[in-house]
Structure 1
């Protein structure tokens, strides 16, 4: 059974480590993302 109470959680805006940076998506990310996915 879940213990979720319905209260919203605060979002993580940025997660940073020595080898990884995770952040919110930005519009200027699209060209690089499209290039990575191009066949």
Structure 2
């Protein structure tokens, strides 16, 4: 499923835009999980 989406984005000629969005999501997720871990401990 993810690969299918990736190929659609890639062939639409927007691989960089997709990577930027993906990178932003990853940064948000990691910072969110770090925040959750700090709160729980």
TM norm structure 2: 0.30
> Which structure's CA Rg is the greater one?
1
Higher strand share: 1
Higher helix share: 2
**Structure having greater relative contact order (Cα 8 Å, sep ≥ 6):** 1
